[in-house]
Amino acid sequence: MSKKNQNIVILTGAGISAESGIQTFRASDGLWHDHRIEDVATPEGFAANPSLVHNFYNERRKQLHDPSVQPNPAHHALARLEREHDGNVLLVTQNVDNLHERAGSKNLIHMHGELNKVRCENSDNAFTWLDNLGTDTVCECCGVSGNLRPHIVWFGEMPFAMDEIQHTLDQCDLFISIGTSGQVYPAAGFAQHAKIQGAKTVELNLDPTMANDTFNESIHGPASVVVPEFVE
Ligand code: BV8
């Protein structure tokens, strides 16, 4: 798959975690199925009804900690690629689960945040949080309750590490998009950015996406099958 010394950027979305038992966002039974995006994934939604938003993320954190939720062969294949490839491999995930790190990926950016972290709105400190979060939870950094929020990037908020991501895209030889519908920006613009500067672009997804014709190559099938095959 990859030539010697190639610099690789990989973007993953909810589809890579689907076979681990984590719902995607836009499938018919997906996460947004029960909620309007505006109500649970925006700062305005959180300000209007913090308990609803806390419950939305508490449910997902609980699901993530279920012993049945484990990294699948696609997560393990990407961790192996990082270990064995002699060029740079940067894994940028839109996912807020911790399955990539549990599979062993190290050079990893969670551009939309992490389910297992919360952030103090006074100090902007983010720290690991594995339990339920509520409006009455006391912040361990300032001792005040009610000022903790999920460490998640909501719509209208700037994703994390964008400078590092853009700089790495400028230098990459191969861009691989895995398990994302390509509907959310700025992540949805990464393939075009890589292609314009000369990278080869490949999409691995269960089925063709709207962005299909941006890619030099598209391979369709479940991530747990097509990703290990592609990485080998
Ligand atoms: C920002 C919260 C600016 C975390 C999420 C035009 C240009 C730029 C921006 C915009 C624009 N138009 C509108 C915007 C704003 C907006 C946006 O993109 N809106 C969309 C809806 C049009 N973007 C933003 O607001 C972003 N911020 O632009 O900031 C700014 C500038 C200056 C100063 C301040 C701000 C912020 C975006 C992040 C929003 N947060 N979620 C959470 O709760 O998890 S987005 C949400 O969608 C998730 O994070 C998720 O990661 C992301 C993408 O979804 P996917 O991962 O693709 O999941 P989906 O279900 O859609 O698709 C799954 C895919 O997997 C499918 O293709 C399916 O076929 C496939 N699949 C399924 N099973 C399998 C499989 N594939 C393989 N194997 C399988 N088994």
Q: What per-residue confidence (pLDDT) applies to 1?
A: 65
Cα of 99 from ligand 1 centre, angstroms:
18
203's tokens: 């999409």
Minimum CA distance residue for ligand 1 atom 2: 154
Query: Does the structure show a pLDDT above 70 at 93?
Result: yes
Please report, in range form, the residues annotated as the binding site for substrate.
57, 60
17-58 pLDDT per residue, tens: 999 999 887 777 777 777 788 788 999 999 999 999 999 999
How far apart are the CA of 157 and the centre of ligand 1, in A? Answer: 12
Residue 2: pLDDT over 70: no
pLDDT digits (tens, 9 = 90+) for 134-183: 999 999 889 999 999 999 999 999 999 999 999 999 999 999 999 999 99
**Pick from 28-32, 89-93, 101-105, 228-232: least confident:** 28-32
- Average pLDDT over the chain reads 94
Report yes or no: 19 and 223 within 8 Å, Cβ to Cβ.
yes
Catalytic residue among 100, 112, 151, 193: 112
Q: How far is CA 96 from CA 24, 39, 229, in A?
A: 11, 18, 25
Mutational pocket test of ligand 1: of 61, 185, 225, the residue with most ligand atoms within 8 Å of the beta carbon: 185
167 is catalytic: no
The ipTM, to two decimals, is: 0.94
> Cβ neighbours of residue 114 under 8 Å, at least 6 residues apart?
96, 98, 151, 152
Contact 227, 20 (CB under 8 A): no
Instruction: Please check whether residue 203 is in contact with residue 195, taking contact to mean a CB–CB distance below 8 angstroms.
Output: no
Q: Return the percentage of the chain with pLDDT > 90, whole number.
A: 86
